[in-house]
Chain A
């Protein structure tokens, strides 16, 4: 039993490693930007360890002031990370093998990449706590170590756009979307989500486009795929 936990954990580590490598420049740049805003390497490591959500950390550093306005920063993190509610509801369906405690521990690591890889795993076989923690702990430790390294290296790293590093997360997410591709229905969900996200992004400031686009895609999926299920039953 312990051996199978270990092998699941190792499998999770091996699956997330390429993603962790791809995230490396992004993490270094985050640390450097935070250092430019006056955060110490210790404070950068603390933020990466307690928040562990790249997009919201970037935005926080972008609006950072001294002394830090905790209410604004907390609320901003909340709105940017609201997508986790949808992600958590989806992945929690596949946590039948998890104890209550291990669900609450595992969900601490619910970052986009970890979640997407866990969803893919759940679509082919049973998701185990070992596999999930293999994904989670690896990226977690990597994120802390690399962001602190970036803070120590400081501004020597330069502008992320210069080397196209600002496109790294986009490329990872595109690869993950393609991994979920199931024919034309997936295309319809992509179209609905992108259209509503674009419209919301034009009209409403802030990160609300993620929630609006996500909900539009979910509604489209509910309409299309449930119909398919009914056809099969008839």
Chain B
């Protein structure tokens, strides 16, 4: 169990930077008037951000990942989350073996 000083500094820098991004939204809200348009934009945040995060994996890696993404989405309309993850993982492994 070792802890080096440069590692501690790096982890602290990462932690402080990340916490600032987490609380910055409070300051943004304080300086923005919640018009219907702003409200509609904020309502879109979950779908917009989650989609952007997975775009390289689903749409830019290959046909196996794209098809597995589609299978996962279809499963997500009917199944609980743990089953959805199982469908995703199993289909990506199978499709990678089949079509690479």
A interface residue numbers (CB < 8 A to B): 18-19, 21-22, 39-43, 46-47, 50-53, 55-57, 60, 66-71, 73-78, 81-93, 103-104, 107-108, 110, 112, 115-116, 119, 163-181, 186, 189-190, 192-194, 196-198, 201-202, 209-222, 224-226, 228-230
| Contacts A50-B15, A68-B6, A230-B36 supplied; 19 other A-B pairs, CB < 8 Å | A40-B3, A51-B11, A55-B53, A66-B4, A85-B24, A85-B25, A87-B46, A89-B25, A164-B90, A166-B57, A167-B68, A171-B84, A193-B55, A194-B58, A213-B52, A216-B52, A217-B49, A221-B41, A226-B40
Nearest CB of chain B from residue A119's CB, rounded to whole Å: 5
The reply to whether B49 and A81 contact each other, CB–CB distance below 8 Å, is no
By the criterion of a CB under 8 Å from any partner CB, how many residues of chain B are at the interface?
Answer: 74
A-chain residues with CB within 8 Å of residue B76 when the two chains form the complex: 174-175, 177-179
Q: Which of B32, B56, B82 contacts A209 (CB 8 A)?
A: B56
Render B1-39 as a binary contact track against A, CB cut-off 8 A, 1 for contact. Answer: 111101111111111111111111110110010111111
A-chain residues with CB within 8 Å of residue B58 when the two chains form the complex: 170, 174, 194
The reply to whether A164 and B41 contact each other, CB–CB distance below 8 Å, is no
Q: Write the chain B residue with the least CB distance to A163.
A: B93
The reply to whether B50 and A176 contact each other, CB–CB distance below 8 Å, is yes
The reply to whether B48 and A218 contact each other, CB–CB distance below 8 Å, is yes
The reply to whether A167 and B47 contact each other, CB–CB distance below 8 Å, is no
A-chain residues with CB within 8 Å of residue B99 when the two chains form the complex: none
Query: Given the known A-B contacts A77-B13, A176-B50, A222-B41, are A170 and B25 also in contact in the complex, defined by CB atoms under 8 Å?
Result: no
State the CA gap A177–B21 with chains docked (Å): 22
Render B51-65 as a binary contact track against A, CB cut-off 8 A, 1 for contact. Answer: 111111111100001
The reply to whether A178 and B44 contact each other, CB–CB distance below 8 Å, is no
Q: Which of B4, B13, B18, B84 contacts A174 (CB 8 A)?
A: B84
Q: Return 7 A-B CB contacts under 8 Å, by A number.
A: A50-B12, A112-B50, A167-B89, A177-B73, A211-B52, A213-B49, A229-B40
Q: Which of B29, B37, B81 contacts A92 (CB 8 A)?
A: B29
The reply to whether A104 and B23 contact each other, CB–CB distance below 8 Å, is yes
Nearest CB of chain B from residue A84's CB, rounded to whole Å: 4
B-chain residues with CB within 8 Å of residue A78 when the two chains form the complex: 17-18, 20-21
The reply to whether A193 and B6 contact each other, CB–CB distance below 8 Å, is no
A-chain residues with CB within 8 Å of residue B89 when the two chains form the complex: 163-165, 167-168, 171
